[in-house]
Structure 1
Amino acid sequence: MAVEPKVMEHVRAILEQFGNKYITTEGVLKRNSVIEDLDRYDRDLITALLSDELIHTSYIEKIADIEVFKVNQFIEMFEFKHYWEDSYTKYSNKIGLTAGGKFIDESADVVLDFPFKDTVLKAGMSKEDLENSDDADEPFLNEVIAKPEIDELFEPKIFVNAKKYNVRGGRTLPLSLLTII
């Protein structure tokens, strides 16, 4: 059962005045054409819509003695394809968190933020590091403030006195072969 609220009946009656600009010959509403003209503040369309008393009282807000047309709220009515087909709600059978009218699993604008996300942990990796310092100082280096220190941490390193072990035993390799990236 299709449900069409009173405001849509009024909108359809107004749009029929424009011929086939907003309604096809089969009687189907051209939602995109209406939305595009509302976004461009088409003078003829908005004048015709606001001349209807129901639309005027539903979508006009008086601010400082000036009437403001809530065009974004009016456009929302057209943006949901199945908005009016079987109920008076625009919400689907889905429960979840939304941001900007979209579920967060459908949006690319969702970011996980947490403390120290913008830092690098400078941690000692050996017993020598602990022996050379009075305490285990493992600071967090901020990516912006301590950029030179972080760049130094991530520079390629060279092993000294490294040995390669095989079946017969170990042998020393030239330093040029032991660069780690």
Structure 2
Amino acid sequence: MSLYDILVEQFKKDPKYINKNVELKKWVIIQRAQNFDKELLDLLIQNDVLKKEFFVNIQGILIFKQNLFIDFLEQKNYFNNSYTKYKNKIGLTIDGMYLKQRNDIALIWPFKDCILEGGQTKEEQSRKEIFFNEILAQDEITQLLEPKVLTNAKHFDKNGEKLVKQFNRNEEGIITDNLIIKGNNLLALYSIKKEFAGKVKLIYIDPPYNTGNDEFKYNDNFNRSTWLTFMKNRFEIAKELLSNDGSIFVQCDDNEQAYLKVLMDEVFGTDNYRETIVVKTSTPSGVNAINVKRGERLFKVKEYILFYSKTPTFRFNPIYIKSDFNPNYRYEVIKRDDRYIIKDLKKQYKNNIELEAYALKNYDKIYSLEKK
């Protein structure tokens, strides 16, 4: 039963909210909701589903989400579960007001208040992608994001494959098997949420680059908006999966790097931005050189990896690589208790001969320092 149907059934318990055709008197309900009518709120609270959707519990006190309830009641079924409640004005609102009604400057895009399933298999490329609005389609979104049954699980080892009867778990009951889940990534991420929320230390994503040449070809009229919605939905669940000391790396190219950075700032927070890593992916030759010669563009030899942590307290864990002595190495690493102390040898041994003599005697403590 949909959320709207549950709402109708609940209001049927009081005749003042139902007309002779057994339909909701929407404007009666809306007027009472605007006045925080006690009888109306009591009726809503009596149903657990409606209580969960239209109230928030703050320190034991239930707060009625009045605007959400009224918005839902006004718009539900009016557009027949449409892609967005702002069908003609593309959702460009802040706090319920269209941008042209405000003096504020805002960075916002169409469909930002929507959930996009975003199937990308060859079978799904021709389908009409649906934007489920967070207000109008709460029940549809709940069904989309609730855990799905994982089927046909197989175990692969040196002897081949065999069906899995049960997963291996540690003392805390967490699955310890290496899992490869095939399917829609949004559905898969929400399906493992209960098992792994707050437990994932590292997420790496190599999403479609939205270049027009990849598989992301939905809704061409709002291509960038569609892509941003696609990414935002996945970042929100990825953040829930990350542990407090976890981090996420997202690879992209010039096409969406700037927009992706702004989006990740919003979802993960600017305080949790760590680095933009530039990766050399090709050399200035071959096809690259031909395109430059034509005057089409400069050499395309790099991509980006945007790096964010779950919390601002994140710290790098350096990896110390033991190496043969070289006069250019200048660090001595000494472990004391549970921490490492790094000494700058060149400050202690200014003469290169002295440094070399010391390093040869203490070669087991001389390292190059690389930040990973």
1 or 2 for the larger relative contact order (CA 8 Å, sep ≥6)? 1
Bigger radius of gyration among the two: 1
Q: If the length of structure 1 is used for normalisation, what is the TM-score?
A: 0.48
